[in-house]
A and B are shown apart, each in its own frame.
Chain A
Amino acid sequence: MRRWESYFWPLVALVAVLILWRQGVIYSGTKVFPSPFEVQRGLAELIRKGLLWGYIGDSLFRVGSGYTLAIALGIPTGIILGWYPNASSALNPVIQLMRPISPLAWIPLSIVWFGVSNFAAIFLIFMASFFPVVVATMNGVHNVPPMMRNAGVNFGLSPAALFRRVIFPAALPQVLVGLRIALGISWLVVVAAEMIAVDSGLGYLIIDSRNAGKRYDLVIAGMLLIGGIGLCLDLSIRRVELLKSVRWGFRNE
């Protein structure tokens, strides 16, 4: 595919979807579903009222805090579990039990503990991203080929140096996969968290627009913003995977 084509066809598809959307709204005569232009006007209104950037900032702040906290605690936990087989065989059943629990199931408890506040949303995002980070790090450390471990030991590395120079870099690609999954889930969860636990942010925008006047143009605008920002987050974390010191771990090139 030539360079211009890799931009051209996606653009064509996007325009086609917008046209279909608009014609669909016109032909069906729906009173509920807004057309692209109404959504665009809704967005402009949000900017004019000075709400948009605040909402985006609030959502990103919650994701950023909960996610950072999950990384700060999850990576060390994963390392310990991956490094000490006894720790992992003791704790792994608990982790595997907690992992399939939807982060949203924590909503009632988060409100009991933190009230309607930022902390409740941050807690939910933490719960959403902690387990993927722990499990990926644990597996990454656990799966370091014995050959590499042996090579490190053979050259006389102390346990700390072995960890820093062999185990961690060898596990890093898998850790990054966990970070990316966790970021994706966090962005999904923040919407739900903001619908219930706080009164700002993009999730709040969606639920409030519906509750306070059935403004479906703003609902769709909020959804599109969530999609766009989520895409940007994923693209930026994918850039990290291109660094030469981790690229070897990714087969997708």
Chain B
Amino acid sequence: MAQTATTAPERAVEAAKISVRGVSKIFKRDGKEVNVLDNINLEARKGEFVCILGPSGCGKSTLLNIAGGFLKATTGSITIDGEEVNGPDPRRIFVFQERGVFPWMTVEGNIGFGLFKLPKEERRHRIAHYVKLVGLEGFEQAYPQELSGGMKQRVEVARALAVNPDVLYLDEPFGALDSITRLIMRSELLRMWEAERKTILFVTHDIEESVQLADRVVVMSTRPATIRRIVEIDIPHPRDISSPRYLELRDSIFEEIGLAHKV
């Protein structure tokens, strides 16, 4: 839990936390079959931060929803610690964009939402801890509508972390935030990740975001999505986003996706 900077050899020893084996997904729409995911194979180690990067509508969210247990794969399976995913489970929490907070509850109520099995005292304790972790002291009694987008997103992350899951699934969590808040939230998320070391699957369409955050970036193709390449981001945190290595990795992904890096 307390390891600070994971080095490559250390990680290689650890068994796969999440393994995605031959996952395909075919949706039926208006009698037509839409092939969304095509034979995805992927592993994430315990405590690893994996970004799934791809263009909008490529099926990366579908993959995350299958991993979360909200959708069934057409073929293939996803296992976590060797156990097949068969539905949603509090050990792995799905974080949506900030619209997922419950608007009828205070910040405290939201963060404590999943703690209904704990005794009152411990629940209070945990809530206080996570309010502090996400920097929302003084807003415990505030309702989501009184908060900014970034603060709502913090509430949602805190609500997820509070139940102490092994795995966090984040589905374009910062997509609705302005670009400055988004940058702040990225470093906040990294800070929380270093404190708690959850295994994270993070879906995004933002190349910079993926290179800033992830240990590995899984680059997906357009639909039907396949994995084009997996890029190891071997830069320690905090990352200098003007360093040659950062730019090199970023540009290689730009190239992979087939974008000329010019506006």
Q: Which residues of A contact B (CB under 8 A)?
A: 145, 147-148, 150-151, 153-157, 161, 165-166, 169-170, 172, 244-249
B94 touches A245 (CB 8 A): no
Min CB distance, A46 to chain B, in Å?
45
* B224 is an interface residue with CB less than 8 A from chain A: no
Residue numbers in A under 8 Å from B143 (CB-CB): 244, 247-248
Residue numbers in B under 8 Å from A248 (CB-CB): 103-104, 143-145
Min CB distance, A151 to chain B, in Å?
5
A156 touches B90 (CB 8 A): yes
Residue numbers in A under 8 Å from B90 (CB-CB): 154-156
- Top 6 closest pairs, chain A to chain B, by CB: A248-B103, A155-B114, A156-B90, A169-B104, A245-B104, A154-B88
* B52 is an interface residue with CB less than 8 A from chain A: no
B102 touches A148 (CB 8 A): yes
Q: Which residue on A lies nearest to B169, using beta carbons?
A: A154
Residue numbers in B under 8 Å from A155 (CB-CB): 90, 93, 113-114, 163
Min CB distance, B140 to chain A, in Å?
14
| Alpha-carbon distance A72/B159, docked complex (angstroms) | 35
Interface size of B by Cβ–Cβ distance < 8 Å? Answer: 21
B100 touches A151 (CB 8 A): yes
| Alpha-carbon distance A89/B28, docked complex (angstroms) | 22
B145 touches A150 (CB 8 A): no
* B193 is an interface residue with CB less than 8 A from chain A: no
Of A150, A153, A161, A169, the residue contacting B102 (CB under 8 A) is A169
Residue numbers in A under 8 Å from B68 (CB-CB): 154
Residue numbers in B under 8 Å from A245 (CB-CB): 104-105
CB<8 Å pairs between A and B, sample of 25: A147-B96, A147-B99, A148-B100, A150-B70, A150-B88, A150-B94, A154-B93, A155-B114, A155-B163, A156-B88, A156-B89, A156-B90, A156-B114, A157-B116, A161-B116, A166-B102, A169-B102, A169-B105, A170-B102, A172-B104, A246-B104, A247-B143, A248-B103, A248-B104, A249-B103
Residues A147 and B144 in contact in the complex (CB < 8 Å), given A153-B88, A156-B90: no
Q: Which residue on B lies nearest to A172, using beta carbons?
A: B104
Interface SS of chain A: helix, strand, loop or mixed? helix
Residues A151 and B96 in contact in the complex (CB < 8 Å), given A248-B143, A248-B144: yes
A154 touches B145 (CB 8 A): no
Q: Which residue on B lies nearest to A168, using beta carbons?
A: B104
Residue numbers in A under 8 Å from B113 (CB-CB): 155, 165
Min CB distance, B61 to chain A, in Å?
12
| Alpha-carbon distance A246/B145, docked complex (angstroms) | 11
| Alpha-carbon distance A147/B61, docked complex (angstroms) | 13
| Alpha-carbon distance A151/B104, docked complex (angstroms) | 14
Q: Which residue on A lies nearest to B144, using beta carbons?
A: A248
Q: Which residue on B lies nearest to A155, using beta carbons?
A: B114
| Alpha-carbon distance A168/B141, docked complex (angstroms) | 21
Residue numbers in B under 8 Å from A169 (CB-CB): 102, 104-105
Residue numbers in A under 8 Å from B145 (CB-CB): 247-248
The listed residue with most B CB atoms (<10 A of its CB), out of A145, A156, A166, A249, is: A156
Residue numbers in B under 8 Å from A154 (CB-CB): 68, 88-90, 93-94
Q: Which residue on A lies nearest to B145, using beta carbons?
A: A248
Residue numbers in A under 8 Å from B144 (CB-CB): 248
| Alpha-carbon distance A170/B102, docked complex (angstroms) | 8
A145 touches B99 (CB 8 A): yes
| Alpha-carbon distance A157/B100, docked complex (angstroms) | 16
Residues A147 and B104 in contact in the complex (CB < 8 Å), given A155-B90, A156-B90, A248-B144: no
Min CB distance, A7 to chain B, in Å?
29
Interface string of B55-76 (1 = CB under 8 A from A): 0000000000000101000000
B104 touches A170 (CB 8 A): yes
| Alpha-carbon distance A154/B163, docked complex (angstroms) | 11
Min CB distance, B110 to chain A, in Å?
10
Residue numbers in A under 8 Å from B105 (CB-CB): 169, 245
Q: Which residue on B lies nearest to A173, using beta carbons?
A: B104
Of A151, A156, A172, the residue contacting B94 (CB under 8 A) is A151
| Alpha-carbon distance A248/B103, docked complex (angstroms) | 6
Min CB distance, B18 to chain A, in Å?
16
| Alpha-carbon distance A145/B113, docked complex (angstroms) | 17
| Alpha-carbon distance A165/B89, docked complex (angstroms) | 17
Residue numbers in B under 8 Å from A246 (CB-CB): 104
Which of chain B's residues 99-123 have a Cβ closer than 8 Å to chain A? 99-100, 102-105, 113-114, 116
Residue numbers in B under 8 Å from A148 (CB-CB): 100, 102
Min CB distance, A120 to chain B, in Å?
40
The listed residue with most B CB atoms (<10 A of its CB), out of A153, A169, A170, is: A153
